[in-house]
């Protein structure tokens, strides 16, 4: 049965890309046209929770519906953020790491929220519809669910490539729309009790970068024109603002996220140069990740043990310990750490997936397989990721439920754009199935596949 499952998953991966890489970060590359631009998305619970804490109040104040599944972290060192169809917000890691404070990051997000509130996406879309019929929303339909985030610790995936013109289609705003978004951002930040002063300090810093590097070298300047007039607008509106330097209650969380992202996205030498002579908790976090990347697992675990003594209820420290144990083959300890992390954050889909994966790596009993299946199905309710379906196919295969395994495989193939494989797998699922409840799901999936093929 294990061999059947392996062959099934191998077939899926042969359509979806190069396959899974068992290293620090789980990375899957999808084949894209040669003239396409790849978007790398990071799935990380800690970073997403920070962005949610900033964004959700802003969306609510703007009267915009909010969903965690509409916030995307783009693995890109450039300073940029943009919005797209369906209230989707994209924030570059470079923006997070370039900001000095939560207030600055909140200013960027508030500005993008202003674009959504002002209907700028729709107006820009209508203007350019004759030039570009492919919408970013159609890319997200396949790509978002296909993002393979096997673990919460900055697990990365390469989204399906998109034409660069699709991105610029949504990010080239007119100057008056920028002013409108600025004004909306000021109002939204004040409504939500967040300091708008970060917008001014952020603008001044990137204006300085502009003078040093040139407008065309920084993507943010191509999509969000920074002018002295706009900075003057902030200066004028903020000159009587009280508590200009008011620190956000999220600042400590922000510093942890910055340290984490820096350590994961840079080589260990760079991390130690930046954080090596520092004993703060964010510095220890970065150092632990750097040791992990150097394969110095004992030092990484020692640093994490010290951190856990300081914050025993921090789920992300236990999550990282679990990842280290999993990478080093200590599955029993990995499960213990993931269980602890999940007990501290029971609704985290990423932690549910991490624990399920650890269970399936350890020659699971029938009860453990069912536990993994339950965890994966629960995660799919809130976070429909492609990797979840891949794990579910494996779990059902271990259970001997080949109909369900092929159904899950077809769901995965659909989300990676492998319609031919999905059609074959859903056909096999239908032939093997004798469960009426599963039959309804199979028929629904078959109809969705056929509709996409017809298109």
pLDDT at 291: 97
- 259 within 8 A of 286, measured Cβ to Cβ: yes
- 217 within 8 A of 122, measured Cβ to Cβ: no
The two three-digit tokens of residue 169, written as one number: 């289609």
Question: Domains of the chain, with CATH numbers?
Answer: 2-12+284-454 (1.25.40.10), 32-238 (3.30.2010.10)
3-class DSSP assignment, residue 82: strand
Residue 93 and residue 262: Cα distance in Å, rounded?
A: 9
Rounded (5°) CA angle 329-49-411: 65
3-class DSSP assignment, residue 155: strand
CA-based Rg of the chain, rounded to a whole angstrom?
A: 23
Rounded (5°) CA angle 242-248-251: 145
pLDDT at 104: 94
Residue 429 and residue 452: Cα distance in Å, rounded?
A: 19
User: Nearest CA to 90 among 45, 26, 144?
Assistant: 144
The two three-digit tokens of residue 118, written as one number: 């002002």
**Phi and psi angles of residue 63, each rounded to the nearest 5 degrees, phi first:** 75, 30
CA dihedral over 442, 371, 145, 413, signed as positive or negative: negative
Q: Is the pTM of this model over 0.85?
A: no
pLDDT along the chain (455 residues), means of 10: 34 28 28 48 94 95 90 90 84 94 94 84 46 41 38 36 42 66 90 89 79 56 64 82 78 97 97 93 97 96 96 97 94 97 97 97 95 97 92 97 97 93 96 95 96 87
- H helix runs in 118-249, sequence order: 120-128, 136-146, 164-171, 175-191, 197-213, 219-223, 228-238
Residue 113 and residue 364: Cα distance in Å, rounded?
A: 46
Residue 371 and residue 15: Cα distance in Å, rounded?
A: 29
Residue 256 and residue 388: Cα distance in Å, rounded?
A: 27
- 392 within 8 A of 373, measured Cβ to Cβ: yes
Residue 400 and residue 397: Cα distance in Å, rounded?
A: 5
- 20 within 8 A of 26, measured Cβ to Cβ: yes
Pairing, β 88-92 against β 81-84: antiparallel
Place of tokens 């990721």: 385
400 torsion bin: left (phi>0), alpha (psi -120 to 50), beta (else): left
- 352 within 8 A of 342, measured Cβ to Cβ: yes
Residue 227 and residue 117: Cα distance in Å, rounded?
A: 22
pLDDT at 33: 32
pLDDT at 205: 80
DSSP 349-407: HHHHHHHHHHHHTS---HHHHHHHHHHHHHHHHH---HHHHHHHHHHHHHHT-HHHHHH
Give the chain's length. 455
- Looking at the DSSP bridge assignments, the partners of residue 91 are 73, 81
3-class DSSP assignment, residue 88: strand
Place of tokens 């750097």: 290
Q: Is 30 exposed, middle or buried (0-12, 13-18, 19+ CB in 10 A)?
A: buried
- 70 within 8 A of 200, measured Cβ to Cβ: no
Task: Give me the sheet containing 88-92, strands edge to edge.
Answer: 81-84, 88-92, 71-74, 40-43, 155-158
pLDDT at 226: 61
**Phi and psi angles of residue 162, each rounded to the nearest 5 degrees, phi first:** -130, 150
- 216 within 8 A of 222, measured Cβ to Cβ: yes
Place of tokens 């990676």: 416
């Amino acid at each position: 049965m294990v061999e059947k499952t392996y062959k099934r998953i191998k077939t899926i991966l042969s359509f979806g890309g190069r396959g899974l890489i068992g290293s620090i970060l789980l990375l899957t590359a999808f084949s894209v046209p040669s003239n396409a631009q790849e978007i790398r998305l990071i799935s990380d619970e800690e970073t997403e929770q920070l962005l949610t804490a900033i964004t959700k109040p802003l969306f609510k104040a703007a009267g915009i519906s909010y969903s965690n599944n509409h916030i995307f972290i783009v693995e890109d060192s450039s300073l940029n953020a943009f919005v797209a169809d369906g209230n989707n917000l994209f924030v570059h890691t470079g923006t997070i790491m370039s900001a000095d404070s939560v207030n600055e990051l909140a200013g960027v997000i508030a500005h993008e929220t202003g674009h959504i509130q002002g209907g700028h996406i729709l107006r820009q879309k209508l203007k350019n519809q004759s030039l570009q019929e492919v919408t970013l929303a159609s890319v997200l339909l396949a790509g978002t669910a296909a993002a393979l985030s096997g673990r919460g610790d900055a697990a990365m995936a390469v989204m399906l490539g998109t034409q660069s013109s699709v991105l610029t289609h949504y990010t080239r705003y007119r100057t008056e729309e920028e002013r409108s978004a600025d004004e909306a951002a000021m109002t939204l930040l004040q409504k939500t009790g967040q300091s708008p002063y970060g917008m001014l300090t952020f603008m001044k810093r990137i204006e300085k970068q502009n003078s040093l590097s040139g407008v065309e070298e920084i993507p943010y300047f191509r999509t969000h024109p920074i002018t002295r007039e706009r900075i003057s607008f902030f200066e004028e509106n903020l000159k009587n603002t009280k508590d200009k330097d008011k620190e956000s209650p999220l600042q400590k969380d922000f510093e942890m996220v910055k340290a984490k992202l820096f350590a994961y996205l840079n080589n260990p030498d760079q991390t130690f140069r930046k954080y090596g002579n520092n004993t703060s908790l964010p510095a220890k976090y970065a150092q632990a990740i750097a040791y992990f990347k150097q394969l110095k697992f004992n030092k990484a675990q020692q640093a994490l043990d010290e951190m856990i003594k300081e914050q025993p209820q921090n789920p992300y420290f236990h999550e990282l310990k679990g990842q280290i144990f999993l990478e080093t083959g200590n599955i029993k300890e990995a499960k213990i750490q993931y269980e602890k992390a999940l007990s501290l954050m029971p609704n985290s889909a990423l932690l549910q997936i991490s624990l399920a994966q650890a269970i399936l790596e350890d020659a699971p009993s029938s009860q453990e397989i069912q536990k993994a299946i339950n965890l994966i199905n629960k995660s799919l309710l809130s976070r429909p990721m492609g990797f979840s379906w891949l794990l579910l196919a494996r779990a059902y295969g271990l259970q001997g439920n080949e109909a369900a395994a092929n159904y899950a495989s077809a769901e995965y193939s659909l989300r990676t754009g492998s319609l031919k494989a999905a059609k074959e797998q859903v056909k096999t699922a239908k032939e093997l199935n004798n469960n009426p409840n599963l039959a309804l799901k199979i028929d629904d999936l078959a109809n969705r596949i056929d509709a996409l093929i017809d298109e």
